[in-house]
Chains A and B, each alone.
Chain A
Amino acid sequence: MTAVYGLYPDGASAQQAVNRLRAAGVLDRDITVISAQPMEDYEFGQMDKATWMWWFACLGGLIGLSAGLGLTWLTETSWPMDVGGLPIYAWWPNTIIIFEMTMLGAIVATTLTFVLSALWPQRGRTLYDPEVTEGQILVGVEHPVDELVSELERALSAPPGARVKTR
């Protein structure tokens, strides 16, 4: 047995299923919810909301800024070239390079954080049902302890419209 889960037609019954699983003693981090769209109007849709992504974006921006500064500073001072009477290290024009590198760093860092935190495969977290695409909401528990399966099935089948499956 790798998973026991229910499919629910709407957010309200999915919310009931989540509440009953909690009542049955399942921790939030063990509950798997899958939907075809963000369900932020429901409480269960708010799980795992906290993220460090903003800080990683800032960090990426900082790295990009340093890269831009280093690139312009090192190359222009190592190969000093006089062009049109501008200073060898001209701040105003180089600000543009530094700005673009900063933003690039932030964008890349955001994407990396997203990929690593949301898409990177987690061991044992593979539960999925193609019916989700058609609007069903999946609530389930992966790798349940065998003794608890029947209790979980009871909890999952209680909300209206539930269809409980095991895998």
Chain B
Amino acid sequence: MPRWGMAVDLDRCNGCAACVVACHAENNISTVGADEAARGRAKHWLRIERYWEGEFPDVRLTFRPVLCQHCDNAPCEPVCPTYASHHTEDGLNAQVYNRCIGTRYCANACPYNVRFFDFFNPSWDKPLHLQLNPDVSLREAGVMEKCTFCVQRIQAAGTQASAEEREVQDGEIQPACVQSCPSKALVFGDLDDPGSRVSQLSRSPRGSKLLEDVGTRPKITYLARQSQA
């Protein structure tokens, strides 16, 4: 069984947010409009956190893409009364929309705040409604949603590989954010395969986990920034 994970090279991330757009497009995440976004209803499964370091004029801008960390000890899972949030065999932190009754407990338990509640039924400004992804279900009002590591792409690659009677190759699966990253800051793959790029990067001395001391054992490794620019 693979154990899917990701490495994020903060040295390469320039905060362009192409991944955010790609994520919205791939996963049928409804755009809520400016007003609702201002009221805190925007749903960015993947967000670019921007931090300023230092005092003006000696400031440095740093970015950190934050998405669901697919924790091994995910605090969001045991609190769900209906198993909507649970762990799959290949280590994904799955969210089953049809089981969700909207207690929003998982979002509270999540230290990373990467779970989002659907306050209204989904809608898109024209012509965005014409580009919905048929592989991803729409979420009705009242359920929680979050990054799935583009599980539809993982499934498709697995099906394709088994049809061709072979293993899934490293780099064959690319979640939308990984695919769209112009500077190749995001790397996705199998953490259990010691030869895969993602597990090599995860073992890098630059690597650290986000909020590691909370004890969630996340599967995303952030590679620390080295450049001074």
Interface of A toward B, CB cutoff 8 Å: 81-86, 93
Contacts and interface: CB of A to CB of B under 8 A. Distances in A.
B105 to A, nearest CB: 12
B72 to A, nearest CB: 6
Contacts, number: 31
Contact of A83 (B80, B89, B217): B80
A93 B80 CA distance: 13
Contacts of B144: none
6 contacts: A81-B86, A83-B83, A83-B86, A84-B74, A84-B87, A85-B74
Interface size class of B (residues with CB under 8 A): 10 to 19
B85 interface: yes
Interface string B35-62: 0000000000000000000000000000
B10 to A, nearest CB: 27
Contact of B75 (A81, A82, A84, A93): A84
A86 B77 CA distance: 9
B83 A81 contact: yes
A86 B73 CA distance: 8
B85 A83 contact: yes
B78 interface: yes
Contacts of B74: 83-85
